[in-house]
Amino acid sequence: MIESYRSSVPDEGDGAASQDAGPIMGIRPLLKRIDRGDLTRVLICLILTAIVGSVELFLPDAVWRLQLVIAVTVIGLVYGCWPIIKESWNDIRARKMSMDLSMLIAIAAAALIGQWLTSLVIVVFVLLAEILEDLCMDQGRDAMSDLMAFLPRRIRVRSGESDVIEMPLSQVKVGQIVMVSPGGRIPVDGEVLAGSSTVDESRITGESMPVVLSVGSRVYSGSVNQDGALEIKVSRVGEDSSYGRILSALKDAQSSAAPVQRLADKLATALVVIAIAGAVLTWLLTYDLRSAISVIIVAGACGVAAGTPLAMLASMARVAGAGAFVKDGVHMESLSRVDTVIFDKTGTLTRGMPEVTRILPVEGVDETTLLGVAASAERYSEHPLGKAIVEYALAQGVGTVEAEGFESEAGRGVHCVINGHMIRVGTVAFMPEDARGDITGDVGADAPVRPLDLSDAGTSFMNEQAAVQTTVHIAQDGRYLGCILLADAPRDSAARCVDELHRQGMRVVMLTGDRDEVARRVARQLGIDDVHAQLLPDGKSRALQAERQAGHRIVMVGDGVNDAPVLALADVGIAMGSGTDIARESADVVLISSDLNDVAKLLHTARRARRIIMFNFAGTILVDGIGMLLAAFGILTPLLSAIVHVGSESAFILNSARLIPRRGYRNHRG
């Protein structure tokens, strides 16, 4: 799959020059992309049209005028209509009525009744419309493939302790160590083992600012390394990498037809049949073959037949450039119809990891001392709470000292000896009995908390402010020193995302297995009114099914293993890029950057694409209906009908092309 694009990918090192090139080009590069054969065909037909027009205008009485006009017209029609003839023949073999076939009938009929100039003008218009359609579709495909055009063909891989070898990207395996120089493109997903740098991830995650990487940081294929050398341990490569997944989505989008696209094809076929039937009826009622031909010519369905897949492809390119990729055009259409967004809480609306929120020492102990003692005791702990305390201490510049006799008791805490003092860090039940009496009073003179309920093993404060927080207690030599509060904080983008979804008229629901008081506290912070808490995975599934039975169209956003069933049950499942593999595989959409703002942008773009498509549908029916009526009454001549036909379908194709992301779109995430 990767190899199919590799022939057009420049070598590593020449990506910097091309990196800023957007999918929408200037006039000169755009003209260069027009097929020379198509351009030559149009120019020759224009010349032949000019010859026929000049002869009819300036030599009306010449004896040989008719023979010259017929000869030139036949040459122009055969040469100019050849692509249309081939398409029409394929349609006939497939027993399909198409716009190409109807236009071929109209062109031939116009020539047969002596409308020589008109028949040639129609050919030129049709050829120009085909070129415009091809250019717009190419721009749509480029907008998507532009995301993937920066991987090097060959990369450097560490072999042994000091040897570095060069090999094709297709031969790289998971677990190998890839070397990326400053300015190079990152070819794999993985983890930084050595080095530090800033990386441009805008083509993959949509992040506008460079991302600082250091040892342990995750990296995505398709990103551009900027100012430092990196050694990356490969976790995903090829089709499994960020690059490969987007490429797979592109392939699926181009090969599969969404329901709205199939509807567009049916509408186009119906309009052709109606136009031919209308032409026959016009001729039977008026015996005016010229008006009958005008009826066929004026009907144009290419605006919906070509504009619909262009809109779907361009919208998928737009959201992919903003950090999300949709696995199929069907899902993109489904997104445009949803009215309810359901979020998992932990790891989706929240970061999924505890963070220190407050330090509450008893009187006589300062915060730095309390934090230093706790962090020193937790240095060797594998518990998430212990790791969070150590990371917070390091971030605050609080040093730690070596602990002796470290022991951990699951579900209770850790104890050790520091500078000769016995330290305990953990739950209330884990504190020495003498220290527990101090905990039942106020913790610190300024602590706005109530006494702890010892029957609950002391894991949470009982007031609303602390109900969402976990409390870690610290004691030294049997004396209580204080506590540290930790909480799973909401993502920075969560509140803004929920607010934007409400502005779009969406219902927002939270499903979580967490405690009810914790869930409702987070929901209030984010502005979510509908909360279902303390749910097991099957409970989440039942809640989602109840929403669907109530008539709602559902988007489910989650990240964990227990979210996979509901992601699959929803109309559209969206997985966080930082989530589990099973969640990403079960989902229809993946947010690579895990930025919740991308959910709102994704739904906005899907709805915008549908509005554009529906406008094209309505506009085509209206223009064709009025045009056929005017043509039947002889108001529109064949030439005017051709102008209306080409003008309307070009307008609708260009309307869809508005969705194609412009240059610099990824850097602004607009």
CA neighbor of 332 nearest in space, from 322, 346, 317: 317
Number of Cα atoms under 13 Å in the Cβ half of residue 2:
23
SS3 content of the chain, % helix, strand, coil (to 5): 50, 15, 30
- Residue 664 in any domain: the answer is no
CB 527 within 8 A of CB 499: yes
**495 with 571, same domain?**
yes
CB 438 within 8 A of CB 362: yes
Range of the domain at 204: 154-251
- Residue 163 in any domain: the answer is yes
User: Exposure string (b/e) for 197-236, b if CB count within 10 Å is 16 or more?
Assistant: bbbbbbbbbbbeebbebeeebebbbbbbbbebebbbbbeb
Paired tokens of 449: 């908390």
**502 with 594, same domain?**
yes
pLDDT for 433 equals 80
Phi, psi (degrees; rounded to nearest 5) at 396: -90, 0
- Residue 439 in any domain: the answer is yes
pLDDT for 458 equals 34
**80 with 159, same domain?**
no
- Residue 15 in any domain: the answer is no
**91 with 69, same domain?**
yes
pLDDT for 371 equals 94
CB 321 within 8 A of CB 203: yes
**473 with 413, same domain?**
yes
Residue 347 falls in which region: left (phi positive, over 0), alpha (psi -120 to 50) or beta: left
Burial class of residue 589 in the structure, from the number of CB atoms within 10 Å of its CB (0-12 exposed, 13-18 middle, 19+ buried): buried
Q: One of 146, 189, 200, 344 is an active-site residue; which one? A: 344
**117 with 43, same domain?**
yes
End-to-end distance of the chain based on CA atoms, in angstroms? 30
- Residue 557 in any domain: the answer is yes
Phi, psi (degrees; rounded to nearest 5) at 178: -105, 135
Distance CA 300, CA 321 (A): 33
**281 with 292, same domain?**
yes
Q: Using alpha carbons only, how large is the chain's radius of gyration in Å?
A: 34
CB 119 within 8 A of CB 107: yes
**525 with 593, same domain?**
yes
pLDDT for 359 equals 92
Distance CA 174, CA 189 (A): 9
- Residue 43 in any domain: the answer is yes
**129 with 259, same domain?**
yes
Paired tokens of 43: 């120019």
Distance (Å) of CA 588 to CA 327, 557, 572, 597, 611? 6, 10, 6, 18, 22
For the chain, the domain total comes to: 4
Domain boundary, last residue among 251, 281, 298: 251
Paired tokens of 419: 């500078």
* CATH number, domain with residue 238: 2.70.150.10
Distance CA 494, CA 527 (A): 10
- Residue 630 in any domain: the answer is yes
**395 with 474, same domain?**
yes
Taking the complete model, does pTM exceed 0.85, yes or no? no
pLDDT for 16 equals 32
**427 with 555, same domain?**
no
Q: Tell me, what amino acid is at 486? A: L
Domain boundary, last residue among 236, 251, 266: 251
Paired tokens of 10: 């420049």
CA neighbor of 565 nearest in space, from 599, 536, 594: 536
Residue 344 a catalytic site member: yes
Mean pLDDT by 10 residues, the chain (670 residues): 30 34 44 72 90 83 80 90 84 71 78 84 82 69 53 77 80 87 85 86 59 83 81 81 60 58 76 88 91 87 76 80 74 90 87 84 91 93 85 91 87 89 90 74 37 32 48 91 87 91 94 81 90 83 91 87 76 75 68 82 92 91 93 90 85 86 48
**271 with 232, same domain?**
no
* CATH number, domain with residue 406: 3.40.1110.10
pLDDT for 559 equals 77
* CATH number, domain with residue 342: 3.40.50.1000
Domain boundary, last residue among 197, 218, 251: 251
